[in-house]
Amino acid sequence: MTELPATVRSRATPALSSRQTGEGSAARSAEAARASELFSSALPPLPTISNPKIALTQSPAASTLNRKTRRARSTPKVQLVQFAAPKSLEERVFDRLTQLKIRTAQVAMHLDKEWRHALYRQLDFLMEADAWPADMPLPTEESFGTFLKFIIHLRPKARPSLGVEDDGSLVGNWTDSEGQLFVIFQGGEDIRWSALQTIAERIEVISGRTTIDRLIVNASAYNPARWFSR
């Protein structure tokens, strides 16, 4: 506690006696006012808090508590998930046709330009969106990839007719005056094949399952290369 100067202490607590005269009433009032003024000036100034409530909430602990409370009370964000409407048959056919053409363009350097453009026209004819049966599966990209490998490996000059199996596998058909060759492209290097040959007015059929590089060997009895060289 700050010690008051001697002059302030003596005036703040005057020793009044009963022998003081009548002028003493006014003198005592003036003396008391001066003593109060001196007493107040001697005390250290008190800190001023303009808003005690605000000052208290600005302490680090209180600020942390307030932030946690605001986060806890904040309304959780609601994320809206939009589900795309299912595509129509025409849209799905068009999308798959586009994908097959992109796959062809990716290996364009391995295909003759005329052969490649003719293949594009075949795909357009095969996959007419407004004529595609609703219950018919679309050709798979995997099967079409096997078809491209087949064409690049064997390089047939003759282009096959194209069709689609019930499982979405692409089918190639080469035909001449004496018979036909069907190749079903199953994915990867795998193919199924059937050869039809007319011999002495009788139709013989042979079928097998093999890989692209083994077709010529496995179907050698019918000389399958003849269908590719036309």
Q: Where are the domains of the chain?
A: 89-228
- CA 134 to chain CA centroid, Å, is 31
pLDDT tens per residue, range 99-123: 999 999 999 999 989 999 999 999 9
65: pLDDT strictly greater than 80: no
- Give me the pLDDT at residue 16, please: 44
Amino acid at 170: L
Contact indicator for 219, 207 with CB cutoff of 8 Å = no
230: pLDDT strictly greater than 50: yes
Query: How do 190-199 and 179-187 pair as beta strands?
Result: antiparallel
pTM to 2 decimal places:
0.63
pLDDT tens per residue, range 183-207: 999 999 999 999 998 888 888 899 9
Q: Give CA–CA dist 150/190, Å, rounded.
A: 10
pLDDT tens per residue, range 34-59: 655 555 555 555 555 455 444 444 55
* Of the candidates 90, 85, 184, 87, the residue with the CA atom closest to the CA atom of residue 133: 90
pLDDT band for 20, please (50, 70, 90 cuts). Answer: very low
Amino acid at 196: L
Burial class (CB in 10 A: 0-12, 13-18, 19+), 150: buried
Mean residue pLDDT across the chain: 77
Question: How many helices (H) and strands (E) in the chain?
Answer: 9, 5
